[in-house]
Amino acid sequence: MVKLAVLPGDGIGPEIIEQALCVLEVIKDKYDFTYTTQTGLLGGAAIDATGEPFPEETKELVLQSDAVLLGAVGGPKWDQLPGEKRPEKGLLGIRKALNLYANLRPVKCWPQLIQQSPLKNEKLAGVDLIVVRELIGGAYFGKRGQEAILGGIKAYDTIEYSTPEIARIAKVAFSLAGKRRKIVTSVDKANVLDTSRLWRKTVEEIAKDYPEINLNHLYVDNCAMQLCLNPAQFDIIVTENMFGDILSDQASVLGGSLGMLPSASIGEGPALYEPAHGSAPDIAGQDKANPLATILSVAMMLRISFNRGEAALAIEKAVSNVLDQGLRTGDIWSPGTQLVGTRAMGEAVRKEL
């Protein structure tokens, strides 16, 4: 029996997770997918209860699970805490503990929402890409510090990458591309950074094992331009942690709503699934949040962690049908469509299943 660890987190986290779990209940019956869930604390909720953003208990829970479903973490309530005690540290902690080295962020454009996109419609045809972000290396986890100098302080962070770290994320990118349009765009700043030169060299080395894949390289600044100018050119974008943070967020607005985008973070053990958006404290508890990204994250989980492609597809189809019916939460509403709340949106997806 599959063991799911569920971490609702902060802000809108609990209410979107609730809808995602209700959808999963329907899958259980219809697709004979049996599982148990156990809930844990992460982020601000964990700080309030235990003083730690990623408590030991939560660590044990996720290490013993088969997959983790996460809502969102953070909020202004915890923004004044020192670096080590902030909700974000919980996120970084769980990534490290589960060795989640690959973050997958699929971006596509739902035809029903094309008007919501900031891009001109003709730019959006054929947009279907995945940003593969290295998640536990680079400046996020390198040595850092501060020292007093004349006239103030000097701070530093270290971007660090090794051949094996780059090789394993490159393999994820190439094998994903093999199941898709067979294009990998590796993004770096090899004209300036040593880590980027090692990145490029290693990716080229790994590419030799995937002769059917078309590999190209872009500098990160150019990639930021291309994502606006011609996003349909991309299939798989693979890049280091910080560049991936920036580019995946930039890419996430192309489709028109961040509220529609799921994500998966994978390592060798249990994988973690969460919506791409944040905890939106301003609308928390008001039945206004869009649960679809979290519901689509459940679909990713079924496909990637449990090889249940059919059930995943059924969820994705149900979401598309609900959009066809014209139902919209506030973030994706436009004149002529019907505004619904978090619960009604979840309910509509369940009905379609």
Ligand X SMILES: CC(C)[C@H](C(=O)O)[C@@H](O)C(=O)O
Q: Which two tokens stand for residue 180?
A: 């898709």
d(CA 296, CA 76): 27
Q: Is 262 annotated as a binding residue?
A: no
Residue 219 CB, nearest approach to ligand X (Å)? 7
Yes or no: say if 353 and 30 are a contact pair by the CB < 8 Å rule: yes
Residue 140 annotated in active site: yes
- Residue 250 CA to its chain's centroid (Å): 13
Q: Is 289 annotated as a binding residue?
A: yes
Among 49, 125, 167, 192, binds ligand X (CB under 6 A): 192
Residue 249 annotated in active site: yes
Catalytic residue among 89, 161, 189, 331: 189
Among 32, 34, 84, 153, binds a copy of itself (CB under 8 A): 153
Among 25, 204, 221, 324, binds ligand X (CB under 6 A): 221
Binders of a copy of itself among 68-127, rule CB under 8 A? 83, 86, 88, 92, 117-120, 123
Q: Which stretch binds a copy of itself (CB under 8 A): 46-54, 102-110, 194-202, 261-269?
A: 194-202
d(CA 158, CA 146): 12
d(CA 104, CA 175): 13
Residue 242 CB, nearest approach to ligand X (Å)? 8
The residue type of 132 is V
Yes or no: say if 192 and 161 are a contact pair by the CB < 8 Å rule: no
d(CA 92, CA 73): 11
Q: Is 82 annotated as a binding residue?
A: yes
x/- map, 207-226, a copy of itself, by CB under 8 A: -------------xxx-xx-
| 167 C-beta neighbours (distance < 10 Å), count | 13
Cβ contacts of 17 within 8 Å, gap of 6 or more: 6, 8, 9, 69, 71, 294
Cβ contacts of 137 within 8 Å, gap of 6 or more: 101, 160, 161, 162, 165, 240, 241
Residue 126 CB, nearest approach to ligand X (Å)? 26
- Looking at the Cβ atoms of 262 and 346, the one nearer to ligand X is 262
d(CA 59, CA 53): 11
Residue 331 annotated in active site: no
Catalytic residues: 140, 189, 221, 245, 249
Q: Annotated binding site for NAD(+): which residue ranges? A: 75-88, 278-290
Q: Annotated binding site: which residue ranges? A: 75-88, 95, 105, 133, 221, 245, 249, 278-290
User: Interface residues with a copy of itself (CB under 8 A)?
Assistant: 83, 86, 88, 92, 117-120, 123, 139-140, 142, 144-146, 149, 151-164, 167, 189, 191-195, 197-198, 202, 220-222, 224-225, 227-229, 242-243, 245-250, 252-254, 258
